[in-house]
Amino acid sequence: MQVRMGAVIEIGTGSLRADDVVAVARDGAPVGLSAAARAAIVESRARVDALAASPVPAYGISTGFGALATKHIPPERRTALQRSLIRSHAAGSGPEVEREVVRALMLLRLRTLATGRTGIAPATADALAGLLNAGLTPVVPEYGSLGCSGDLAPLAAVALVLTGEGSVRDRSGELVPAAEALPAAGITPVVLAEKEGLALINGTDGMLGMLVLACADLRSLVRHADLAAALSVEALLGTDRVFAADLQALRPHPGQADAAENLRALLAGSPVVASHAGPDDPRVQDAYSLRCAPQVAGAVRDTLAHAVTVAERELAAAIDNPVVLPDGRVESNGNFHGAPVGYVLDFLAIAAADLASISERRTDRLLDAHRSHGLPPFLAADPGVDSGYMIAQYTAAGIVSELKRLAVPASVDSIPSSGMQEDHVSMGWHAGRKLRRAVDGLRRVMAIEILTAARGLDLRAPLTPAPGTGAVVAALRERVPGPGPDRHLSPDLDAAVEAVASGELLAAAEGVVGALK
């Protein structure tokens, strides 16, 4: 994990920018509470302390939780209640969740604490910020959240570390007991008072963190989809006429317009396209995977725009139960339900699967001598002796098949829990987990198409690609050699994936044609 020096991201009582979430989760940006947030925390804590001293039971403060909410807990047992809540809810299982997801989850919980709607103690909020700034990442198992009453088990794993139990990964990735790591970082383990256990675990922060990170990745990948499509259009001797602005305007979806504009920019001045643009070309129209590229990539953009809107609303939300309202009331609510986030996580998985599917179809077309308009079978140097990129398409097809399975929605699969008190849950955490795998698969399928189309363009010599697509091919050739006899292909695939992930191919194109939409 890289550590950004300076540039402290201030956590206030209001919304948080998605870019700040990415900076903390991926780049290690430091965080701090604003003066307004600290004042709001102190004020709401005072209200909770007053209710704790009252003889009238208040949920989450002087009662049990969930199905045990009717049981009154005497003052002398409430510290034990909080400790038991965290220990019992830290019941996750399975492999460790990725560091960036855990850091996003921690930041987003801190943001809700900073609103002053949770009743957390200032020292507890400071300890959570301290974990982030020290680069200590609690070990969070993958399974345990149903996406309702919050991401309970994942958040409890973080809360457990705040109390000095559980384990963390330090900045170098070494596994360290929390009891050792916290004092070494100058963090005092917290003793949770009334309401604090619920305040730490009753949120949708895990699924929201995964949504924010996925949106950041997909904003890049949808532009890579246009790069890949433009390369394939050229390599397959396709036409750019179908991307004309007046044709696209007949169906006024904003994402479609942006994708078509990108394709026009990338293909502008292409000698390959010009070589067959005259009346002698016998083909009437290109295959759907070429002709409909902006319609599909555009629909993905519009789906992504909706997901970003949901994420922005959630980044302004205060998710807890009960909540401390500005007038001092402490009220139960259902805002912890993950449906709004779960739906768009599922929706994005559908969009990612379809964008990968159309990409794989173009890859397959490039490799088929019957449909590639003069390219050698499988783009092999010596067909028969060499297999070229035959099995690269197998890899893409296998990933696309997996993405179709991952596109099955999690958010419709409610399983009742907690003695039927929590009788309808969102499964939003699971939607987020499968979306992360879908984004990774989409990136790999895109990389395979770019690798394949670039080879096809090389084989069109002496014809040359457009300036924009030519810059992409040149950048790729810094990592992957051009056509030649078969060699170990996996390293080439991995190099192409890294070139997509780093954004260097996109930067090469934009250096020529300007920023893509």
The number of CA neighbours under 13 Å toward the Cβ of 42 is 7
Rounded to the nearest 5 percent, the helix, strand and coil shares of the chain are 55, 5, 35
Residues 508 and 472: their CA atoms lie apart, in Å, by 6
Cα–Cα distances in Å, from 36 out to 11, 263, 368? 9, 47, 63
Tell me if residue 143 is catalytic: no
Residues 427 and 412: their CA atoms lie apart, in Å, by 8
Q: Are 199 and 332 in contact (CB under 8 A)?
A: no
Q: How many CB atoms lie within 10 A of CB 501?
A: 17
Tokens encoding 415: 């399983």
Catalytic position from the list 59, 288, 343, 394: 59
Residues 137 and 155: their CA atoms lie apart, in Å, by 12
**Residue at 403: amino acid letter:** L
Q: Are 289 and 445 in contact (CB under 8 A)?
A: no
The angle formed by the CA atoms of residues 507, 395 and 239, to the nearest 5 degrees, is 55
Cα–Cα distances in Å, from 235 out to 32, 230, 338, 371, 506? 51, 9, 45, 11, 18
Name the pairing type of β-strands 93-96 and 141-143: antiparallel
Residues 320 and 332: their CA atoms lie apart, in Å, by 9
Tokens encoding 395: 């890899």
Residues 58 and 79: their CA atoms lie apart, in Å, by 16
Residue positions annotated with a catalytic role:
59
